[in-house]
Amino acid sequence: MIQQDYIRKGSKVFFSDTKEEPVTVFDIIDGEVSVKLSRMVTAYPDDLYPVPLSPEMIKRCGFFKTDEYVFEHPSEKIELEIDYKGVTHMHIHTHEKVLELKALHELQYAFWTYTNEEIVFK
């Protein structure tokens, strides 16, 4: 399950049993979340699951690999580093911040918070 505070329009999450490809959150109204499957579906935060931050998901967000465990974003001064436990550390050089991330929606939320831009997910 995902904490509702970190879900926003555009978040990529897994929906219930469909965990092959992330779905996009289209709206959140009064605790109900709209996601698009083959059609629009209304769900609750309990129906949504985090997408683990894997190197593949990081690349789909526009980051490129600069070292075995390091990725950088081409338009921002942001670096992601995966530690030996699989936890991703986001270094935001313009704010001298380091955040610990475990899921795709957390990366999207942090990126938007510090850059005021959306991540382009391919």
CB burial of residue 16 (10 Å; 0-12, 13-18, 19+): middle
* This prediction's pTM: 0.85
* DSSP run (H or E) holding 59: helix 55-60
For residue 33, the model assigns a pLDDT of: 87
Tell me where in the chain the CATH 2.30.30 domain(s) lie: 4-49
Q: How many C-alpha atoms does 10 have within 13 Å on its Cβ side?
A: 14
Contacts with 63 (C-beta within 8 Å, 6 or more apart), sequence order: 71, 72, 73, 80
Q: Say whether domain 4-49 belongs to CATH 2.30.30.
A: yes
* Residue 72: pLDDT band with limits 50, 70, 90: very high
For residue 101, the model assigns a pLDDT of: 94
**How large is the average pLDDT for residues 23-48?**
83
- Asked if pLDDT for residue 99 goes beyond 90, the answer is yes
For residue 8, the model assigns a pLDDT of: 83
Q: State the chain's mean pLDDT as an integer.
A: 87
Cα–Cα nearest to 58, from 46, 47, 71: 71
